[in-house]
Amino acid sequence: MKPGSRPAYTLPSADSRVSGTDPTAAIVMPPAATARLPIRPTSAALLDAARAWVHAVRTNKDVIALRNLVAAEQHRFPELGRAWHGHGPEGHHPAVAGALRALADQGRLVIPDLEAAIIQLYALLVFPHMVFSTYGTHIEDDLTGRLIVSGVDMFLRHYGPGQEC
């Protein structure tokens, strides 16, 4: 292989995962968790969904490897980074957007900017795990639990009914 040329497997493999059949579906809130959102208290439903979501982010080795590959190689292969980032948070995680939209439609959340709310929820719940995994380490289970509970609490304090956004 010539220096600077991309391995044949890199982009097709990542591209297929970024398109409709990608395994990043494992890092969205599971359908069972989002299906319960309308009938349970908002905080309990979000805590259950957050626990499942964070668990998937922490344990799906294929997605962790793909995310690390994209982060490491997008400077050499800009099309790889564009394919990964092209969908944006709402496009990559429609279940999160749908769940937040449903809660807002029910008056259980007030979300004037869905895109910002999705990124803020990611920042509170999953981004710390993504950053730690990039460096080959992890957040301990006890701290993970505390981060989930406080992250959901912060999110609801900001986006709950009667709060100023």
Residue bearing the bigger pLDDT, 63 or 25: 63
93 burial type by CB count under 10 A (0-12 exposed, 13-18 middle, 19+ buried): buried
Question: Taking a C-beta distance cutoff of 8 angstroms, is the pair 86, 92 a contact?
Answer: no
Q: What end-to-end distance do the CA atoms of the chain give, in Å?
A: 53
Domain assignments of the chain as residue spans, ordered by start = 10-159
* Fold for the domain defined by 10-159: Tetracycline Repressor; domain 2 (1.10.357)
Q: How far is CA 106 from CA 38, 46, 132, in A?
A: 8, 15, 35
Global pTM? 0.69
Given a cut of 90, is residue 5 above it in pLDDT?
no
pLDDT tens per residue, range 44-56? 888 998 999 899 8
